[in-house]
Structure 1
Amino acid sequence: MSEYNAKGVQPDVLTRVWRTVCKEPVLAILVAALVLLQLARPRPWMSLPGLVDWQTVLTLAGLLILTKAIEYSGFLMWAAHRLVHHIHGERGLALFLVALAAALSTVLTNDVALFAVVPLALSLNKLAPLPMKRLVIVIALAVNAGSILTPLGNPQNLFLWQTSGVSFGAFVWALLPLCAALMALLAAVTFVMFRATPLDLSGDVEAHSVDRVLCGVSAVAFAAFVALADAHHAGPGLAAVAVGFLLWRREIVLKIDWLLLLIFVLMFIVLRSAAALPSVHGAIAHIGIQSPARAFAAGAVLSQGISNVPATIVLAEFSKDWRALAFGVSVGGFGVAIGSLANLIAVRLSGEKAMWMRFHIVSIPFWIAAAVIGWALV
């Protein structure tokens, strides 16, 4: 008979949980941060789920299932095959994927854009060996830069657009200079990071068939789910998607990255707990962010500690200059990975090892350059 500890949990289960936490640096940091926050300013444990934006988590779960279904259909490999035979160089391919990711992020949000472009890049890598770490990094930068342009691009833009009361067109016009400048900077960075070497297509020797039924159903379900999520009905949408695929193609649901969902839940709890600390509010009130320059700087810097969406919500209480705040938190999405949740999604989707160091080697200098540009424009 298995032995249990005082809480009725098998020791080997605890060991497996501990090993999983140790293998995932982000998860380990979040667990440690949660413990420290609970020691510093205890909250009832039962109240912690209330800090989670379940709409976002449910949307993420649905997108994970649907992109996995599209991958299983073979469509991504087919599209990758067509793409590599039209774009022959590594640099040209990188610039194309950056442009595609940025364009999609303006209308589908930065997270959804990642679910379209990163799996495509992974399929391309199976046909022609690519520097995937660098490719995923510039794609992550691209969705953060492209999403700056419209209110639909990311959650902080949507929040600021709704609270500012300005028109859609006025919002786009106000953010256009920053978006254009950062996209030009990213194009230059991508040009330098990738060489104009021809793609090695020796691995592209197999025929790439597509399961048209699975692909068609997944594409329709993807569009319907995004529409439901946009209307704040991600829960029913996820239920329909999950039940449908469990009954039809069970392996698709079982193969998604469940750990990513757990990390997102913990991020909401930790970041919102940190943002609610009286010391954070006291420090902002003491500094004062009434001027556009200070509001911009506060957004760019605070996002590095609590992510740009919580930073937007906190700073909006102290400044009504929505444009300066939008500039600041947009720049704040670069730098450390926690600055934007899209960064975490990109790294997790890539499945590449030792990504965090490589990501920060590029993203932190990019944040500094973006901060200088934003400061000049604000």
Structure 2
Amino acid sequence: MRKFAIWLKNLFKKDIMLSVSLAVAIISLFITPPSKELLHDINWRTLATLFMLLSVLEGFKSENIFEPLLKRTKNLSSMKTLTVFFVYCVFFSSMFVTNDVSLIIFVPLTIIMFRAGGQEKYILPVLTFENIAAIRGSLLTPFGSPQNLFLYAKSGISTPEFMKMMAPLWIFSAFLLYIFISILYRKNSKEKIEIKEEIVSEPETAKKTHHKRRIMYQVLFVIVVASIVTRTHYYPVVLGLVFITLLIGDRKILVKTDYVLLLTFLCFFTFSSSICRHPAISGFLERSVAGHEYIWSILLSQVISNVPASIVLYPFSTNLRALLYGLDSAGLCSLIGSLASVINLRLYMREYPGKVFAFIKTFTWISLAFFAVVVLPQLALIKYFL
């Protein structure tokens, strides 16, 4: 029992976001006692999708599926060019595979390349740029992020209308990201990177042994992404298919899956569902949110993150544009603002477990600078199209 208590203490000390999410979930259960309705309100679809993505992409990492892409990046000898490559890979891919997945794919590759080239001093700012790219690139499409998908489904807006609404933010962010990258390398825009460590390929026999598993993970990835894009109601079937396939084909991946992150999501969803069912809180939100969606979505996201905030605020909102703009900008203010940022932090902590506060410091000042540039133009767009 004592060993378990020590393990639990170390877990919460290591995972700050888990500690925060669990604390607010427990508090919310005192506000609104647990019930069957509470369980029904939790966004189980998002949790199931996240489990599938984390498991399949853990398999990608295990089988070195991105090795060809990694080898291609070795031809990019300039630090600025390499940074632009990774940041815009995240920016454009996040529109289709969601911001979470784009970070899961490219953050580990970024760390590997910059470490191999002896340029670890740039890892923190570049990962922050990738985080911004994931948040701002994904906002263009209805399926780019969980909150976009939720609001798209609830509002009934068409896909062309949605993309037209978000396009100005997306285009401006694409240009602004390049400016931020240029500022990072302002002292030497042609600074070189030389890969000192060779990327060792597996023996031919090992490649043959793992060939079937590599195909399995690629097929599963296509199935999972298709279930997200099509918004199928049969996601439990897809979940069962993924789980059974992994259980038979590569069960060790099920052990490696990041269940701490899943628990963090669950805690935030519990909180949002609980406070929505409290009459006094619901009455307050009904009086306060309408007409102030932009500021409410940004501020509330700093407490419970943008996905739960979208669930809490949508029933009381009358301006979809303002709500979307706020939720898709909230992740620029703090780590809690977007659950994609939590994923980025956890990916970094796997490689640098003792540098969590260094990550938070760099992330915060760069992201807030980006937010400071975009916040007023977005507000002007909201007022103009009101």
Instruction: Give the TM-score normalised by structure 1.
Output: 0.86
Deviation at 1:200, TM superposition (A): 2.3
Q: Deviations over 1:330-350 (max 9, x none)?
A: 222321112111111121123
Aligned residue number for residue 90 of structure 1: 79
- Give yes or no for contact 1:128–1:200 (8 Å, CA) kept in 2: yes
* Residues in 1 aligned to 2:286 and 2:244: alpha-carbon distance in whole angstroms: 48
SS at structure 1 position matched to 2:252 = helix
Aligned residue number for residue 368 of structure 1: 372
Deviation at 1:42, TM superposition (A): 4.3
Alignment of 1:262-277 (within 5 A): 262-274=263-275
* Residues in 2 aligned to 1:46 and 1:320: alpha-carbon distance in whole angstroms: 29
SS at structure 1 position matched to 2:165 = helix
Aligned residue number for residue 4 of structure 1: none
Deviation at 1:276, TM superposition (A): 5.0
* Residues in 2 aligned to 1:357 and 1:50: alpha-carbon distance in whole angstroms: 37
**Distance change (3 Å), C-alpha of 1:188 and 1:300:** same
Deviates more, 1:277-286 or 1:114-123: 277-286
Deviation at 1:149, TM superposition (A): 1.0
* Residues in 2 aligned to 1:205 and 1:140: alpha-carbon distance in whole angstroms: 26
SS at structure 1 position matched to 2:140 = coil
Counterpart check, 1:186 vs 2:184: no
Aligned residue number for residue 27 of structure 2: 36
Q: Deviations over 1:146-202 (max 9, x none)?
A: 111121212322333334433211221121111111222222222223464211211
- Give yes or no for contact 2:273–2:312 (8 Å, CA) kept in 1: no
Deviation at 1:287, TM superposition (A): 4.0
**Distance change (3 Å), C-alpha of 1:276 and 1:369:** farther
Alignment of 1:139-158 (within 5 A): 139-158=130-149
* Residues in 2 aligned to 1:372 and 1:11: alpha-carbon distance in whole angstroms: 53
Aligned residue number for residue 249 of structure 1: 250
- Give yes or no for contact 1:275–1:310 (8 Å, CA) kept in 2: no
Aligned residue number for residue 18 of structure 1: 9
SS at structure 2 position matched to 1:171 = helix
Deviation at 1:219, TM superposition (A): 0.8
* Residues in 1 aligned to 2:312 and 2:28: alpha-carbon distance in whole angstroms: 18
**Distance change (3 Å), C-alpha of 1:63 and 1:166:** closer
Instruction: Give the TM-score normalised by structure 2.
Output: 0.84
* Residues in 2 aligned to 1:50 and 1:166: alpha-carbon distance in whole angstroms: 25
- Give yes or no for contact 1:77–1:123 (8 Å, CA) kept in 2: no
Deviation at 1:234, TM superposition (A): 3.6
- Give yes or no for contact 2:91–2:137 (8 Å, CA) kept in 1: yes
Unaligned runs of 5+ in 1: 1-9
Alignment of 1:111-190 (within 5 A): 111-125=100-114, 127-129=116-118, 130=120, 131-190=122-181
Matched residues, number = 364
Deviation at 1:103, TM superposition (A): 1.0
- Give yes or no for contact 2:107–2:344 (8 Å, CA) kept in 1: yes
Deviation at 1:323, TM superposition (A): 1.8
* Residues in 1 aligned to 2:116 and 2:192: alpha-carbon distance in whole angstroms: 13
- Give yes or no for contact 1:77–1:120 (8 Å, CA) kept in 2: no
Amino acid at match of 1:107: F
* Residues in 1 aligned to 2:23 and 2:289: alpha-carbon distance in whole angstroms: 31
Deviation at 1:144, TM superposition (A): 0.7
Aligned residue number for residue 262 of structure 2: 261
Aligned residue number for residue 102 of structure 1: 91
* Residues in 2 aligned to 1:55 and 1:166: alpha-carbon distance in whole angstroms: 21
- Give yes or no for contact 1:299–1:311 (8 Å, CA) kept in 2: yes
Please report the RMSD computed on the Cα atoms of aligned residues, expressed in angstroms. Answer: 2.6
Deviates more, 1:98-107 or 1:154-163: 154-163
SS at structure 2 position matched to 1:203 = coil
Counterpart check, 1:206 vs 2:207: no
**Distance change (3 Å), C-alpha of 1:314 and 1:244:** closer
- Give yes or no for contact 1:21–1:27 (8 Å, CA) kept in 2: yes
SS at structure 2 position matched to 1:316 = helix
Q: Percent identity?
A: 27
* Residues in 1 aligned to 2:32 and 2:114: alpha-carbon distance in whole angstroms: 47
- Give yes or no for contact 1:76–1:123 (8 Å, CA) kept in 2: no
SS at structure 1 position matched to 2:257 = coil
* Residues in 2 aligned to 1:132 and 1:232: alpha-carbon distance in whole angstroms: 40
SS at structure 2 position matched to 1:199 = coil
Aligned residue number for residue 222 of structure 2: 223
Runs of 4+ aligned residues of structure 1 deviating over 6 Å after TM superposition are none
Deviation at 1:310, TM superposition (A): 3.0
Q: Deviations over 1:82-101 (max 9, x none)?
A: 2121x212221111112111
Q: Deviations over 1:82-134 (max 9, x none)?
A: 2121x212221111112111111112222222232223324434533443222
Unaligned runs of 5+ in 2: none
Deviates more, 1:225-234 or 1:68-77: 225-234
- Give yes or no for contact 2:38–2:273 (8 Å, CA) kept in 1: no
Aligned residue number for residue 59 of structure 2: 69
**Distance change (3 Å), C-alpha of 1:349 and 1:46:** farther
Amino acid at match of 1:204: E
Deviation at 1:317, TM superposition (A): 2.9
